Structure 1
Amino acid sequence: MRMPNAAANWKNYSADMKEILFNDFMNKHRFASDYDRSMARKVWDLTCMDRYPDYLSKARTKAKQRENSDNIEDLKGHGPRGIRTEMWDGLVDIWATQEWKRKSIAGKNNRASKPDAMVHTGGSRSFGRHLRKMEAEHKRPISYGELYNKVHKRKDGEYVSNKAKNFIESYENAMAEKYGEDASKHPIVDTDVWTQISGENKKGPSTTPVREDITTLATQMSQMQEQMQSQLNLQTQSQMQLQTQLQAQMEAQAQYMQAQLKAQADMQAQMQAQMKAQAEMQALLQQQMQEQMQAQMQFLRKEILPALKMPSPSSVKKLGKNQE
């Protein structure tokens, strides 16, 4: 843990280091819009505010176990590896003050006076990690009621408190009354119903109010869901437009190909017609040449040879045969 100063709670943690840590978080995760990023910062701050004291409490308990001592002063120089010795010793000095001891005792007494408080069994794992795990196991979206129900039950299936049981039953009944008995048709979370049930559970001296940050997270979850749905609708519209454009391009290409094939077929038919015409012309010319040659031979035999008193080619042939 990069701790620039000894801070016993997240409120007193270095603001500059908070920015560095959040920027590290943002470098590992991507969000679609500025709204999502602002929601991520709020949830990140709430989570750190909730987990930071738990981290220090566990480190302090382990140090006491290692040193086998309940004297807070004995823990100096024996902090976890993730915290520098000077920072750890500064924390020990804070824990040793009367003010911190007074607040610690008051907190223990407060928790002891509320045995039916709505504690959860989620451990150090965030609600987001529980949600992703449940969605992976069930292969479907998980409602906030299902998530809340899961992390407020023990391993034997019993609720951690009557308060938690009454709250989730009241929420489920209100959702069924508003949306019907089929829970699969209910929205992921209804912040109006959640807030209403939270307000009902605040009535009476023996009840414990629902944590405000849970209601805030439910509201943020609903808002982020609406934002994601809006983005999904925009993506769907863009995909439909792209599909329409691709289909138009494919149709245009198909028409172009058909036109090219038709043009090639027409050109081939023209070439065949030209070749046929040339063959017919060549045959006609040969016939005309033969007719001209026959006419010239007849003119030669009938007009020229008699005028010259020369034997016709056939007479010459007969004469030759007689001489033999």
Structure 2
Amino acid sequence: MYYQWEDKNHAQIHRCWEKCIAGKFPTLLRNVRNEAKAKAKEQGKNVGDDMTDVIDFKPTWIRSEIWKQMLDHWNTPKWKAKSLRNKDIRSRATGGKHTLGSQSYVTLKRKAKRKLGRELTVREAWKQAHCRKGSRPLDKDLSCSSSLLLDVDSAGDAQEENLV
């Protein structure tokens, strides 16, 4: 029923798993904290800055003594300052997300070809997908002439600062 790898591969597989989970673990713990706070609020508890308010709302998969240690750690001034700083950084992050919504690259290229009468360049498609809405080259006027789009690259760095 289950796949078992050879013992000689165990260390490499374990390192890979550790590397993968390292990026997901902070988000997992943030979700655990938020769920515990939400459950406490549903029960009428006033959940403030003190994480001990959620001690009774631990997930079933975390042992009680571990949950208490986690709450104690989350209540330290050092952790709270770091959490607040990272929350602020996440809220200010502007890049790294695609701005096409549910529209695929194929749909973008097909629409642009129909409106412009030519294929989009890779650079134009990338800019359209990664620039902020309203400052993307094709947002200005999809029915514009292709010479206007060619000028986007030479128009200065106004577009570049909106890129990832």
- TM-score norm. by structure 1 comes to 0.28
Q: For 2:5 and 2:92, how far apart are their aligned partners in 1? A: 42
Q: What is the CA RMSD across the aligned residues, in angstroms?
A: 3.7
Pairing of 1:249-288 with structure 2 (within 5 A): none
Map 1:52-91; keep pairs closer than 5 Å: 52-68=25-41, 69-71=47-49, 72-91=51-70
**Structure 1 residue corresponding to 2:4, chosen from 24, 27, 30:** 30
Runs of 4+, deviation exceeding 3 Å: 28-34, 36-39, 162-166, 204-208
Are 1:117 and 1:163, in contact at CA under 8 Å, matched by a contact in 2? no
Deviation per CA, 1:148-189: give whole Å up to 9, x if none.
Answer: xxxx975x2368xx78945xxxxxxxxxxxxxxxxxxxxxxx
Instruction: Label 1:57 to 1:114 Cα distance change in 2 as closer, same or farther (>3 A).
Output: same
Secondary structure in structure 2 of the residue aligned to 1:108: helix
Q: Which residue of 1 aligns with 2:21?
A: 48
Conserved in 2, the CA contact under 8 Å of 1:118 and 1:163?
no
The equivalent position to 1:157 in structure 2, one of 103, 122, 137, is 103
- Distance in 2, matches of 1:91 and 1:163, equals 43
CA gap 1:89/1:38 in 2 versus in 1, 3 angstroms: closer
CA distance in structure 2 between the aligned counterparts of 1:86 and 1:163, rounded to whole angstroms: 50
Give the Å deviation of 1:90. 1.3
Q: Which amino acid aligns with 2:15?
A: K
**What stretches of structure 1 of length at least 5 have no aligned partner?**
1-27, 120-151, 167-203, 209-324
Percent identity between matched residues is: 21
CA deviation profile, 1:17-43 (whole Å, cap 9, x unmatched): xxxxxxxxxxx4334694x54542232
Distance 1:163 1:32, change over 3 A: farther
Please, which runs of 5 or more residues in structure 2 have no aligned partner?
42-46, 106-125, 131-159
> How many Å separate the matches in 2 of 1:105 and 1:93?
17
Report what 2:155 is aligned to. Answer: none
Aligned counterparts of 1:163 and 1:104: Cα–Cα separation in 2: 32
Distance, in Å, in 2 between the alignment partners of 1:164 and 1:49 is: 32
Larger Cα Rg: Structure 1 or Structure 2? Answer: 1
Change in 2 beyond 3 A, CA 1:163/1:74: farther
Q: Which has the higher contact order (CA 8 A, sep 6+)?
A: 2
* Structure 2 CA distance for aligned equivalents of residues 164 and 86 of structure 1: 50
Cα distance, 1:99 vs structure 2: 0.8
Distance 1:164 1:102, change over 3 A: farther
> What amino acid is aligned across from residue 107 of structure 1 in structure 2?
N
Letter in 1 for 2:58: G
Cα pair distance change 1:206/1:98, threshold 3 Å: farther
Change (3 A) 1:87 1:51: same
Structure-2-length-normalised TM-score: 0.52
Q: 1:153 to 1:59 in 2, by over 3 A?
A: farther
Aligned residue number for residue 87 of structure 2? 108
> How far is 1:78 from its partner?
2.0
Structure 2 letter corresponding to 1:46: K
Cα displacement (A) at 1:74: 0.5
Q: Matches of residues 126-145 of structure 1 in structure 2 within 5 Å?
A: none
Query: Is the contact made by 1:77 and 1:89 (CA closer than 8 Å) also made in structure 2?
Result: no
Higher helix proportion, which one? Answer: 1
1:79/1:157 Cα in 2 relative to 1: closer, same or farther (>3 Å)?
same
Would you say the 8 A contact 1:77–1:85 is kept in 2?
A: no
Equivalent positions of 1:156-175 (< 5 A) are 156-157=102-103, 165=129
